[in-house]
Amino acid sequence: MLTIKQITEDTDKVIRGLEKKHFANAKETIAQVLELNEKRRNAQNQLDKNLAEVNSTSKVIGALMKEGKKEEAEAAKARVAEIKEASKSLQTAMDQAAEDMQNLLYTIPNVPYEEVPEGATAEDNVVEKMGGMETELPKNALPHWELAKKYDLIDFDLGVKITGAGFPVYKGKGARLQRALINFFLDEAHAAGYEEIMPPTVVNAASGYGTGQLPDKEGQMYHCNLDDLYLIPTAEVPVTNIYRDVILDEKQLPIKNCAYTQCFRREAGSYGKDVRGLNRLHEFSKIELVRIDKPEHSKQSHQEMLDHVEGLLKKLELPYRILRLCGGDMSFTAAICFDFEVYSEAQKRWLEVSSVSNFDTYQANRLKCRYRKESDKKTELCHTLNGSALALPRIVAALLENNQTPEGIRIPKALVPYCGFDMID
């Protein structure tokens, strides 16, 4: 959530940033926020004046009574009662303005950094880098959903029977490949200094608001109505909320956490070839990296996370590219974001496998996640960052498709110790 200080001190910059994100009615919405803030401040100022007058008047009432000035004392009492009654209305007005302003702020996305490119859609994203190994497939190469059936790795029909579309059942070497990737990604994160967390996969509404999934993405989340809980779309939500309403010591930063969880997304409105097989699921496995950092160090943290994800793709021997997302294609909460995509040779398309984002103070302001500076003991909002390292479905799809040979599917060297086999045949 944007801070009032941010909006009042650099209003034009905020509006330009929101327009870069293609946020509708940016000027009007910010004007509403400023108007509500002015109402709140005016009411607060008047309340402060009223309180000062009540205090000063109350002090003289006793003295007037001692002096026998009963009428003046009664008039002073009446004045105190009048001020207190007026203050009730002012308090109500101030609380309402503050609530309306807070609710409006929840609907406003984060402001992108200057280095975020202009653009409205994915076509406007900028390719920053390409890497990985070139792939040569045998003739009549198969997409992963056919390979999964051929080698009995994943049963999509069984998933439909048990739950519905988008909930595959992994079997045999398919299940072992999943487990191998999970352990590989967690071990790599541990080696890079991330502390592993095993969080709940259901969260309350406060956690959803804390990281910005609510109210923006409520329609994409599975909601347990009876208990008012939500299935997590990513481990970002529970892990980042560990630090909600927490004041950290500066020496604790940066905090580096990682977590493996199942993730649940309704993906309402998704259809067509882009959702075939593992391309888009309602339930999937993912390892998430989360960092809490000081503002002056968060860009370095972001680069370290990007380097980590790139290193994973290199070890998996997959062709990849890194995209700097344009304003219109970024998430609601991100200030800057890079996507990693792997190339599916069989499908002839790029598959997104990770987004690595810096949220600046946007999530921290919602979470009230702060740190105490060693120099002057003042508190300041932290920066939060996260990224997938990695999401499994499309990694599995690319591994199966890009490593198919006439003899079977080759397992990358880095995964062989985790799988216990070097070929699926």
Q: What is the DSSP string of 79-112?
A: HHHHHHHHHHHHHHHHHHHHHHHHHHHHTSPPPP
Considering the domain boundaries, does residue 117 fall inside one?
no
**Domain final residue, candidates 106, 141, 169:** 106
pLDDT for position 135: 80
Torsion angle (degrees, nearest 10) of CA 357, 267, 316, 132: -70
- Domain shared by 381 and 261, yes or no: yes
Considering the domain boundaries, does residue 224 fall inside one?
yes
- Binding residues for ATP, as ranges, are 265-267, 352-355
Please tell me the pTM assigned to this model: 0.92
Please tell me the distance from the alpha carbon of residue 394 to that of residue 285, in angstroms, as a whole number. Answer: 11
- Domain shared by 102 and 126, yes or no: no
Considering the domain boundaries, does residue 116 fall inside one?
no
**Domain final residue, candidates 106, 136, 169:** 106
Torsion angle (degrees, nearest 10) of CA 400, 401, 403, 408: 70
> How confident is the model over 230-242, as pLDDT tens digits?
999 999 999 999 9
> How confident is the model over 386-399, as pLDDT tens digits?
999 999 999 999 99
Instruction: Say how far residue 291 (Cα) sits from the centre of its chain.
Output: 11
**Domain final residue, candidates 106, 138, 165:** 106
Q: Which CATH number does the domain housing residue 409 bear?
A: 3.30.930.10
What is the domain range of residue 313? 122-424
- Domain shared by 80 and 221, yes or no: no
pLDDT for position 414: 98
What's the pLDDT band for 66 if we cut at 50, 70, 90?
confident
pLDDT for position 137: 85
- Binding residues for L-serine, as ranges, are 234, 265, 288, 386
- Binding residues, as ranges, are 234, 265-267, 288, 352-355, 386
- Domain shared by 218 and 322, yes or no: yes
- Domain shared by 130 and 77, yes or no: no
Please tell me the distance from the alpha carbon of residue 286 to that of residue 354, in angstroms, as a whole number. Answer: 10
Please tell me the distance from the alpha carbon of residue 180 to that of residue 285, in angstroms, as a whole number. Answer: 12
For residue 139, the surrounding DSSP H or E stretch is none
**Mean pLDDT across the stretch 20-42?**
97
pLDDT for position 271: 56
pLDDT for position 73: 86
- Domain shared by 165 and 254, yes or no: yes
- Domain shared by 88 and 138, yes or no: no
pLDDT for position 345: 84
- Domain shared by 84 and 226, yes or no: no
- Domain shared by 194 and 307, yes or no: yes
Considering the domain boundaries, does residue 419 fall inside one?
yes
pLDDT for position 234: 97
> How confident is the model over 113-153, as pLDDT tens digits?
999 999 999 999 999 999 987 788 888 899 999 999 999 99
Average pLDDT, the chain: 95
What's the pLDDT band for 291 if we cut at 50, 70, 90?
very high
pLDDT for position 219: 87
Q: Which CATH number does the domain housing residue 12 bear?
A: 1.10.287
- Domain shared by 282 and 231, yes or no: yes
Of 305, 359, 336, 316, nearest to 180 (Cα)? 316
Tokens 């004045």 appear where? 79
Per the document, the length of the chain is: 425
Report how many domains make up the chain: 2
The Cα-based distances of 269 to 120, 168, 215, 265, 288 in angstroms read 20, 19, 18, 12, 25
Q: Which long-range contacts (CB under 8 A, 24 or more apart) does 93-100 make?
A: 93/39, 93/43, 94/39, 94/40, 94/43, 94/44, 94/47, 97/36, 97/37, 97/39, 97/40, 97/43, 98/36, 98/40, 100/36
- Is the predicted pLDDT of residue 270 greater than 70, yes or no? no
- Domain shared by 85 and 170, yes or no: no
- Is the predicted pLDDT of residue 302 greater than 90, yes or no? yes
Amino acid at the residue 36: L
- Domain shared by 68 and 209, yes or no: no
HSE of 247 in the Cβ direction (CA atoms, 13 Å)?
7
Please provide the distance, in angstroms rounded to a whole number, between the alpha carbons at the two ends of the chain.
51
Residue 252: count of CB within 10 angstroms of its CB = 11
pLDDT for position 150: 97
